[in-house]
């Protein structure tokens, strides 16, 4: 499989197809990505299912069904898309939903696709509606209708395209329209990783980066990584920096703890924002209920930041609940902060419609 230097196959529509970023973090992420399904740690059921889909298609000499990967950020959706292309020996083209705001944007990409290529659309739930409707036809019939002109004189010109595979990634599968979901032949839900799997990932990444990590040092990093490989690799790099400067380069448990405390990541993975949300909720608002917008103002962040970055992890830990009246701190949150909850507090655990 031949790629350009940025790892993305070139061609028409490159003004819409985003190249892989060359920042330091992205460069490290690219270096640490598994290349095959056998190298992937964790997600055993998804790996087995996806392997069957790909192996069967290769045996038939056919293009695999379209693949939808769903799950929280940082669990490996982009990595799996790259592996799909690698396993098929196909060219990979990468774009994202926010970059496709017009049907013409998508038509420009699809018109340059070769037979058997893999088109990866990240954040596919954020595509515009006109582009979605064009994608329906491209995925099902392998053709698109390009509209030339406007008004009564507009003409639709059918454009045949060779069979290809769409790999879509989404963090919010519920926002995908039914007709789009139905066109994916295989849907995978990625789950958070166990501490043991994250330990294996940290150990593998340390080897690739040339970092000496002891077993207990790797487990300390894994335990604070929020079940997410991307966070584990990021914390490993920060601990590596600390160890290189202050402890002779070896990442043991003591170095990992000192480094992560310095970077304000506590023993269960809460960071500065998480703790600020909990403290505001408990100390400023008596444990709630309080609206999301008010809570965001109290910690000096945008509402979207609190809802999308902090809340999912706090809810998963059982520290915060969304109720019809607002956000509420659970007894576990008070205990983690070392505070005593007010007497007679009532917790309503219905989903918050907002």
Catalytic residues, which ones?
77-78, 122, 171, 230
**What does the DSSP 8-state code read for residue 171?**
S
> Which residues are registered as beta bridge partners of 143?
160
Pairing relationship of beta strands 155-160 and 67-70 according to DSSP bridges: unpaired
Terminal CA-to-CA distance of the chain, rounded, Å? 46
Q: At what angle do helices 292-299 and 272-279 cross, to 10 degrees?
A: 120
Distance (Å, whole) CA 267 – CA 102: 46
Distance (Å, whole) CA 260 – CA 254: 10
Number of H helices, E strands in the chain: 15, 11
Q: Confirm if 144 and 132 have CB atoms less than 8 A apart.
A: no
Cα angle 279, 282, 283 (rounded to 5 degrees) comes to 75
Q: Nearest Cα to 183, choosing from 141, 122, 123, 129? A: 141
Q: Nearest Cα to 223, choosing from 241, 251, 250, 199? A: 199
E strand residue ranges, the chain:
67-70, 92-96, 118-122, 143-148, 155-160, 165-170, 186-189, 212-213, 250-251, 320-323, 326-329
């Amino acid at each position: 499989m031949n790629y350009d230097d940025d790892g993305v196959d070139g061609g028409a529509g490159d003004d819409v197809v985003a190249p892989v970023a060359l920042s330091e973090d992205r460069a490290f992420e690219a270096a640490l990505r598994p290349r095959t399904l056998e190298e992937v740690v964790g997600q055993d059921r998804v790996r087995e299912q996806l392997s069957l889909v790909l192996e069967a298609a290769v045996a038939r000499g056919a293009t695999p069904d379209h693949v939808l990967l769903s799950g929280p950020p940082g669990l490996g959706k982009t990595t799996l898309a790259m592996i799909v292309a690698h396993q098929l020996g196909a060219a990979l083209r990468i774009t994202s939903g926010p970059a496709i705001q017009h049907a013409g944007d998508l038509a420009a990409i699809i018109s340059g696709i070769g037979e058997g290529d893999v088109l990866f659309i990240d954040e596919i739930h954020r595509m515009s509606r006109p582009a979605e409707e064009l994608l329906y036809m491209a995925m099902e019939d392998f053709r698109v209708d390009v509209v030339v002109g406007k008004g009564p004189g507009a003409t639709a010109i059918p454009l045949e395209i060779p069979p290809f595979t769409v790999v879509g990634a989404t963090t919010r599968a519920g926002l995908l329209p039914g007709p789009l979901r139905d066109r994916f032949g295989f849907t995978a839900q990625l789950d958070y990783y166990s501490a043991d799997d994250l330990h294996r990932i940290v150990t593998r990444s340390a080897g690739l980066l040339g970092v000496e990590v002891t077993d207990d040092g790797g487990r300390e990093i894994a335990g604070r990584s929020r079940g997410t490989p991307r966070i584990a690799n990021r914390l490993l790099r920060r601990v590596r920096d600390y160890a290189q400067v202050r402890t002779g380069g070896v990442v043991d448990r003591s170095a990992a703890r000192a480094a992560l405390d310095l970077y304000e990541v506590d023993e269960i993975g809460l960071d500065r924002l998480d703790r600020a949300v909990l403290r505001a909720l408990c100390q400023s608002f008596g444990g709630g209920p309080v609206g999301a917008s008010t809570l965001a103002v109290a910690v000096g962040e945008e509402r979207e930041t609190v809802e999308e970055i902090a809340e999912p992890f706090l809810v998963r830990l059982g520290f915060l609940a969304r109720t019809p009246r607002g956000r509420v701190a659970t007894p576990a949150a008070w205990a983690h902060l070392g505070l005593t909850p007010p007497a007679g507090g009532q917790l309503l655990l219905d989903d918050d419609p907002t």
